[in-house]
Amino acid sequence: MEFGKSKIVEKPSGKGKYKTTWIYVPTKVANDSSFPFKNDEEVLLEIKNDSIIIRRDNVHSRMIKEYGSGNETLPKLLRKKATENSNQVILYYENEKYTFKDINEKSNQIAWGILDLVHKLNVKNPNISLMMGNCPDFLYSWFGIVKSGCVFVPINTALKGKYLEHILDDSDTTILIIDHIFLKQFDELRLKLPKIKKIYIHNAPKDFEFNEDYLDFQLLKSSNVDNPKVSIFEEDPIHIMYTEGTTGKPKGVLYRNVLVTSINIGYQLKSIGLSYDTKIYCPMPLFQGAAQFYVIIPSLFYNIPVVLAQNFNVKNFWDDVRTHSPTVFTYYGGYLLYLLYNNPSKFDRKHPLKWAYGFAAGDELWKSFENRFGIKLYECYSHMEGVGITINTLGSYGGKMGSVGKPLDSLDLKIVDPNGNELSPGPDKIGEITVKSRTNVTFEYYKLPEISDVRISDDGWVYTGDFGYIDDDNFLYFKGKKNEIIYRAGEIIYLREIERMANSHPSVYISACIPFVNDLKPKTEVILYVVKLKGSTLTPKKLSDFLFHNLAFYHVPRYIGFLDNLPMSPTTEYLKSEIMNEWENIGSKRKIWDNQIQDYITN
């Protein structure tokens, strides 16, 4: 960085009515490549002792001013809140309430237990995996792992077989904390995972036979409730999140500081209505980044209590809402669908919920949900390699229904063509969504994957493998993932557009489009799998005719099949690799309608 003398000058302004003060920056300093400001950029000024501090006007700068330090870490946040708001209730779970003090002390007990274990195992800052459902112990374990200086690896509780084995091996897990209900999934792989030294069983039955490797989770809790004196800095690795593996093996994304982005998310939510009298209902799985970065950490920072559900269930949802009176809830599109298809009730609009934020509502579902329940929806877009990218703070009431919002002010976002050239705004300018951090948060893999639709360039741009466009107001519209877009005969086929239209049919509950290569005639074909509403007489031929009348002819899938249900991930996204097994089943193919021959497949 260049150094140079500057000058402060007063100038008359407003036809001499008042004075303005100018700070001149030497040319050699302003032209230096590390100079952080742009022309006409608004900045924050702070007088401290005999100095003037100039910062960019972004969430990181505002946070430093509010938080009082440049070294923001999750353990420090927990300590700070336990001191300032000791007896404030921050968590509701079933019939229990938990204060900031409760959470901090119980996390400290886990941290001290881990520190003692790490010393006995003679390992340094090991990676610790957590496979547990939603409950307070999940939070204590997460925070305890980080407070001990170790690396937290949350595990999708639905995983089993090769995917679970890959993540536990690839993450170099040394210690595993697992709920007994998931232990069978792990036991089948135990001999293949020699790196794991100790397994702590949560909720083990009374007759469970522990041994020197399989230990009771309760033994991990120390009696010491003091804050451990472990030096943790914002550049230290603290978190590894794994992708769902839709395009190959799950990839581990390493986070060194999740606090900055999470607080930025909360700052944007405050512009929607997040305030001191807000209470958030969270049915999302805690092992996912959406719950961690969009709910838990922002709630801690902004003192917003959370009602934590074990999972999403329509009946439990409304029971919990009546019991705890939350004003906001978080969603995936599938949650909204289940609520919408539940029988209408006189209580549909008699509830305390004012708004909700989440992912993948889609235009039709968005509109129908708001009309029925009177709850405003605000869509977000996130990415494992980018954590928290956009929030639509205007929603349908601001004329932006269908958009996932504008980028957070800690990020730069652009749409690029296949050659990496930036595209101008407009629905006809669909390209790859790319993002870059403006803060000290970096995007990196724990281990460089062999194959990935996502690429991180040397200059920090994340090429997400997701596609969309921006409008003139810089609002992003998501069109699909790379593997959901097909280029054929000069035309572009968006599988989500086919699903959206199929789902709009009054006899269709849900649908999923699967692309595959036809072995007989090498080209990409599409099969549409559909779940009908109960009692429906819809046939593949009738649905095909409906699609022909409402889609461009090249968007109409060649094959249509009906299923009783579609397997979904915890984010309510369809597990298309599992659905594809139906197609590969010869017996199932005979139930598939072929539009080309206008009949069912016979062989």
> In the prediction, which pLDDT does 518 show?
65
pLDDT at 452 over 80: no
Euclidean distance between CA atoms 33 and 29, whole angstroms: 9
pLDDT digits (tens, 9 = 90+) for 497-551: 888 888 888 888 888 888 876 665 556 788 888 899 888 889 989 999 999 898 8
- How far are the Cα atoms of 265, 274, 353, 413 from residue 299, in angstroms, in the given order? 10, 9, 17, 26
pLDDT at 594 over 70: yes
> Which of 126, 140, 129 is closest to 90 using CA atoms?
140
pLDDT at 344 over 60: yes
- How far are the Cα atoms of 31, 74, 236 from residue 60, in angstroms, in the given order? 24, 15, 18
Gap between the terminal Cα atoms of the chain: 71
Token code pair at residue 225 = 């409730």
> In the prediction, which pLDDT does 514 show?
83
C-alpha 286: how far from its chain's center?
11
pLDDT at 386 over 90: no
pLDDT at 602 over 70: no
Better-scored residue on pLDDT, 403 or 554: 403
Average pLDDT (255-282) is 85
pLDDT at 574 over 80: no
The answer to whether 337 and 369 have CB atoms below 8 angstroms apart is no
> In the prediction, which pLDDT does 552 show?
82
Strands 328-332 and 306-308: unpaired
> Which of 332, 324, 341, 346 is closest to 295 using CA atoms?
332
The answer to whether 559 and 593 have CB atoms below 8 angstroms apart is yes
Compute the half-sphere exposure of residue 313: CA atoms within 13 Å on the CB side of its CA: 8
